[in-house]
Structure 1
Amino acid sequence: MSTIESVSVALAVQLGCATMPVHQLLRMGRGAVIALDSRESDDVVLLANNVPIAEGQVLVQGEKITVSITRMLPLASDRRRT
């Protein structure tokens, strides 16, 4: 295996966003519901090390939750290597 293939990347899926005052966040507890700015049919954003790299649809396959990539996002010009 080459060196690049052994590098680990943290992947995360962003379902949506919400903005709220800190005092409201501090009052939250178990069972609190946060309304996001997205709908069920909207694409989610796939992040690699907190950098958006793709969009996709959330799928439920049995007991597994998966993401089907629908679009790769262009890399920011300052992140490209020449």
Structure 2
Amino acid sequence: MDAVEIEITVLLGRSKIPMQQLLRMGRGAVIPLDASEYDEVWILANNHPIARGELVIDGERVSVSVTGAAQVEDYYATEQ
């Protein structure tokens, strides 16, 4: 098991912006998302949805609490 590498990603929201706008952004730029901090997040393993969760903010710490299994069909249905 020590040799298996898994990348875990937490996806809060998505945004579509033109490439030119992205290239003009500098350090500290803010990209608006289609979600808020109170929305459920997707938890991905190697870019594959495995669970849903919620953000837990405690001062400066941000963590994710797993709330249930991911419905893969729902994940791909939200990609546009």
Shorter-chain TM-score: what band? Answer: 0.7 to 0.9
TM, length-normalised to structure 2: 0.77
Larger radius of gyration: 1
Identity %: 47
1:29 to 9, 19, 26: 26
In structure 2, C-alpha distance between the alignment counterparts of 1:58 and 1:69, rounded to whole Å:
9
Unaligned runs of 5+ residues in structure 1 are 77-82
Q: Per-residue CA shift, 1:19-41, capped at 9, x if unaligned? A: 01100000000121110000121
Off by >3 Å, runs of 4+ in structure 1: 61-64
Q: CA RMSD in A?
A: 1.8
Q: How many residues align?
A: 72
Q: What TM-score comes out, normalization by structure 1 length? A: 0.76
**Structure 2: unaligned runs, 5 residues or longer:** 74-80
